[in-house]
Structure 1
Amino acid sequence: MRQRASLIIAVVMVLVAVGGSAGWRWWHNRPPYGPEVLAATATLSLVDQAAADAAFSPSTMEQAGDGDQIFLGQVTWSRPPDPQSGSSFRVVVLDKRTRLMPGFINVTSARPDEVAVGADGFLDRVEKRYSWLQGIGAREVNGAYWSSGSTIVVSSVDASPVTFAIVLRPAHPATPPEQAVASAPAAASDLLIALISVGPDGQVYWAQRLLN
């Protein structure tokens, strides 16, 4: 009887441990708020160099050449009532035709120090979870993984509005596939904009399609 009782106790302890682990993961990955709380919106339009320069003055805006296109965009959201400490956002732009992201993005915001641009390996996990964002993660080329596109990292919920500009250049036939980025010519409707909510430990909370 003692041996049987000990076995039952051991099984119960294992079940409790498993249940506790699952409960912690659920709580850890549970978003503090959904996208509906932010009511985020996005705009995007094709502009000339003067309009882009004005949007970023006195900062320096990348200059467009012959055949290049400049797209000026903005993402805005409402501040959540109880923002989570350490959480952040990603703003991604993706060419739906080629599943490529822009190579370089100019960005500013209500808090310029709270926004940055660069490659982000975190997007690999987002891509696996959201099929409509296929292309934002690293691409496999000849057995290696490459990420040539850029994304906007927003480290504060108070950074809204975020204004950005993209210069798309015509694709060059000699560009290696691992360096391919979104290219001109394109229409504003070709470029998808998404907002991604990220937890303080890199949790993928949610992704929302804002435009196109």
Structure 2
Amino acid sequence: MTWRRAASAAVALVVAVAVVGGWRWWHQRPPYGPEALQLRSSLEFVTYDEAQAALGSAYQAPVASGGDQLVLGRVSWQTPSAPLDGGYFALFLVDKRTDLKPPVFAVSAPQESVGMGSAGVENRIADRYPWLRGAGDVRISEHEWQSVGSRLAIGDVAATPVTFVALFPHLDRQQREFPIATAPVTLPDLLLALVYLGPDGQVYWAQRLQG
């Protein structure tokens, strides 16, 4: 009987491992990949008046002065048949020289569809996509990390196109201790990427759009 119990236990273990592995595979599997979206994007420098015109009268462009720079970005996609299902798109604009994000965005989209900020689960992005190191928090000491800079979180797959203006402030030497992307910056310095995160913080995929 002992060998029978051992065999039964081994079979149960194999089944349990298969079930867990299958669940993990399903849990990490995105409803669709970036190729289904037919993504399009652009970046350009603009003046305040140009930024305001692009956003429209219902939205306020960031005020720029004294060497500050404004970057106008547009991202659009074909609406897929499946919804985000509790997940969201995270849109990152990163200075590749420093892996830092700008502090301020203005967006011409309904407030309930697009938000600005950061989230702890986004620290997982760099583990899977090292080229997007700037997506997560900034390490300021051996055991200390700081959440700085912003990205856009898009919770409605129908919120296309997204038009945004990012502010790159010009800081004096004393202010540069703040870990944010600053002016002067050139377009080749910038990385624009769209990441799809699942409802439990799964990093489904990341797509480089510019840079």
Report the TM range for the smaller structure's normalisation. over 0.9
Task: Report the alpha carbon displacement of residue 170 of structure 1 after superposing the two structures with TM.
Answer: 1.7
Whether 2:22 is the aligned partner of 1:14: answer: no
Give SS of 2:153's match: strand
Distance 1:9 1:95 in 2: 57
In structure 1, the partner of 2:140 is 141
TM-score by length of 1: 0.94
CA separation in 2, counterparts of 1:96 and 1:185?
13
Alignment of 1:196-207 (within 5 A): 196-207=195-206
Is the CA contact (8 Å cut-off) linking 1:196 and 1:207 kept in structure 2?
Answer: yes
Structure 1 vs Structure 2 CA RMSD? 1.4
Report if aligned partners of 1:120, 1:150 keep a CA contact under 8 Å in 2.
Answer: no
Q: Which residue matches 1:25?
A: 24
C-alpha distance in 2 between matches for 1:140 and 1:104: 20
Q: How does 1:119-130 map to 2 (within 5 A)?
A: 119-130=118-129
Aligned counterparts of 1:88 and 1:78: Cα–Cα separation in 2: 16
**Cα drift, residue 171 of structure 1:** 3.3
- How high is the TM-score relative to the length of structure 2? 0.94
Whole-angstrom distance in 1 between the partners of 2:58 and 2:87: 29
Mean Cα displacement is larger for which, 159-168 or 78-87?
78-87
Instruction: Give how far 1:60 is off.
Output: 1.8
The 3-state SS of whatever aligns with 2:158 is helix
Q: CA deviation at 1:83?
A: 2.6
For the residue of structure 1 that corresponds to 2:11, the secondary structure is: helix
Matched, 1:42 2:52: no
Matched AA of 2:196? S
Please say if 1:194 is aligned against 2:193.
yes
Counterparts of 1:44 and 1:196, CA distance in 2? 18
Worse overlay, 21-30 or 59-68? 59-68
Structure 1 residues 48 and 84, CA, compared in 2 at 3 Å: closer, same or farther? closer
Task: Name stretches of at least 5 consecutive residues in structure 2 with no aligned partner.
Answer: none
- Superposed CA offset, 1:13-69 (max 9, x none): 011101110110001111111110001111110011111111222222221011111
Q: For 1:4-153, list aligned pairs within 5 A.
A: 4-56=3-55, 57-109=57-109, 111-142=110-141, 143-153=143-153
Kindly indicate whether the alpha-carbon contact (under 8 Å) linking 2:62 and 2:104 is maintained by their aligned counterparts in 1. Answer: no
1:84 CA drift (Å): 4.2
Matched to 2:207, the amino acid is: Q
Q: Residues of 1 paired with 2:61 and 2:152: CA distance?
A: 16
Percent of aligned pairs with the same residue?
40
